[in-house]
A and B are shown apart, each in its own frame.
Chain A
Amino acid sequence: MRPILLSGHERALTQVKYSRDGDIIFSVSKDHVICAWFSINGERLGTYHGHQGALWTVDVDPSTTLLASGGADNTIRLWEVKTGRLLKTWDFPTAIKRVEFSPDGRRLLGVTEKRMGYLGTIVVFDIILEVDADQTNEPSLRIECTESKATVAGFSYVGKYIIAGHEDGTVSQYDAKTAEQYLNLTVHEPDIPITDLQWSADRTYFITASKDKTAKLVSAVDLEVLKTYVTDTPLNSAAITPVKDFVILGGGQAAMDVTTTSARQGKFEARFYHKIFEEEIGRVRGHFGPLNYVAVHPEGTGYCSGGEDGYVRVHHFDKAYFDFLYEVEREQAKI
């Protein structure tokens, strides 16, 4: 497996995302620029300019026409994927930590930071999936997180619930239409923030990553913890692979702690765990800083990771990855 190294960013990567067809990778970093890359050969399609601050998050709608991004300049911006044209800017009092389109692309969710007397909120905008449409100015839904601010959020299957991960290690389930909170459960260690939340292909369950060094597979219906993956390093990201029953975890010693810890070796790797047996099956090294985000190709043929070192590494899995089976799985396949 020869990874493709994308070095278009000048500062630490914060998020990388595949388009629905997996052909384009969008990456955002703290250098204010969004990049679009073809996943097949690493060719850069273009860059999106306009943000005035570090970018924290990016998402693309399922038809790959609109791109949403949010960052430390307190705006969510909507872009035309094809040309890099800025279509719409929504202003907020605080930074945007996460944006995500609903599965049908008609709604856009944004998570705002808690700061300067403002509570952390989750806002939802109705989106018209056309480039030249006049997008709404006001959010259709607003959830205030009074207890603990949300760090990550996303839409469950058919956009029924909004699931949010919080700074205090809890996960909440809201109704995506009425904003009513149904559940709030402590999934991770109390008071240790959840750093990532990514969905399975059908969005009935998701994986959360936390600084408490674990990742958990959680059901979207009742927030029941299905599986737990224990590692030896704080995690920044976790993703579920389609085709094979694996999960990929990324993390590493926080950049600010690297110089004060001796055991830095071997922490900046993507860790592969078996999704069902909760057992580590391998690691992929390469980054020389913590991994800030891992994203999996929607067809399960590869993955890419964005690191604190400013590089995106795009991996296409080889045969050994697809051939690997546990003894019991092989037995099962024979029957």
Chain B
Amino acid sequence: MSKVAGRTDWAEEEDEDIGIPPPQITKNKDGTETIVTYHIREDGKKVKTTRRIKKTVIKQVVNPRVAERKQWAKFGNEKGKAAGPQTDTTSVAENIVFRPMANWKASADDKSEHEKKKAAVKDAKIKCRICSGDHWTTKCPFKDTMAPEGADTPADLGLDDAEPAGGLGAGGSSYVPPHLRKGGAGSGERMGGKYERDDLATLRVTNVSEFAEEGDLRDMFSRFGHVTRVFLAKDRETQRAKGFAFVSFADRADAAKACEKMDGYGFGHLILRVEFARKST
């Protein structure tokens, strides 16, 4: 029991003897090895490290001078350390693809140009309808003091139900049909609207979850054929889906198939209802 005698703190003793299981090395079928090691961190927590490695032996013929130097004993800070790279000083960085190519500069320029365009499109998407700033209308700092652009009715008139789309145009007193009113052009409940669209291959999808995105719908419906348009009605204030959408197919047969398959399909927590869109009046 000389070990115990040399150490006064019995708790620490136990930690070292029982706390750290010996490293386990398991050989896998595919030639790799799984090494499980344990160590205790500075804050006293036990850490289990599982490494899966594949060993490849690469034989290399080198100059005898080089071979001799490889056998030199380590010195300085490395003195007494085991052969092979030490993890504290040597690591392998992420893979870098390096393919030299003629006129590299030109190709690199093209790419950046393309990315610039992409960024420009992305930026253009967000535009405040109140102050034309690059933020969402709901986040606008002037939303309580200013009316949306083009709407004559000030916000403080108490016409809470008059959405920007419903507001009268700048034209004055004469009646303006809803689809010609300002603000209605951006988005909203436009069913066909002023555009003459071929609605023969368009499906009306209702009972859509309010968390749905156009992308989700496109993914679901493009299984049946080429989808030309997905329109998901969104609430102007909250940007959440209003619960219905239109999906246009290039081919009516695809649309018919999608209508049959997707009617009653469970999406999110709701069951979709899919039917052919009726020609808007």
Contacts and interface: CB of A to CB of B under 8 A. Distances in A.
Nearest to B88: A7
A64 B92 contact: no
B76 A46 contact: yes
B92 A324 contact: no
A38 to B, nearest CB: 7
Given A1-B96, A46-B76, A47-B78, A282 B104 contact: yes
B93 A282 contact: no
A42 interface: yes
Contact of A286 (B62, B96, B104): B96
Most buried by A among B75, B84, B86, B98: B98
A1 B95 CA distance: 6
A313 B93 contact: yes
B66 A23 contact: yes
A44 B72 CA distance: 11
Contacts of A191: none
A83 interface: yes
Contact of A327 (B62, B63, B70, B102): B102
Contacts of B62: 21, 23
B3 interface: no
B124 interface: no
Interface residues of B, number: 36
B100 A281 contact: yes
Contacts of A42: 85, 89-90
B101 interface: yes
Given A44-B86, A44-B89, A284 B74 contact: no
B76 to A, nearest CB: 3
Interface in B45-99: 60, 62-63, 65-66, 69-70, 72, 74-79, 83-86, 88-99
A106 interface: no
A91 interface: no
B95 to A, nearest CB: 5
B100 A272 contact: yes
A48 interface: yes
B103 interface: yes
Contacts, number: 121
Interface in B96-144: 96-105
Given A4-B90, A21-B66, A284 B79 contact: no
Contacts of B70: 23, 38
A115 interface: no
A49 B79 CA distance: 13
Most buried by A among B90, B97, B99: B90
A224 interface: no
Interface in A186-234: none
Interface string A74-91: 000000001110000000
Interface in A1-39: 1-8, 21, 23-24, 33, 37-38
B105 A279 contact: yes
A84 B75 contact: yes
Interface of B: 60, 62-63, 65-66, 69-70, 72, 74-79, 83-86, 88-105
22 contacts: A2-B93, A2-B94, A4-B90, A4-B91, A4-B92, A5-B92, A7-B91, A21-B63, A21-B66, A23-B70, A44-B77, A44-B90, A45-B72, A46-B76, A64-B65, A64-B69, A84-B75, A279-B105, A282-B101, A282-B104, A317-B98, A324-B99
Across chains A and B, which 3 residue pairs bring their CB atoms closest together, nearest first? Answer: A47-B76, A46-B75, A42-B90
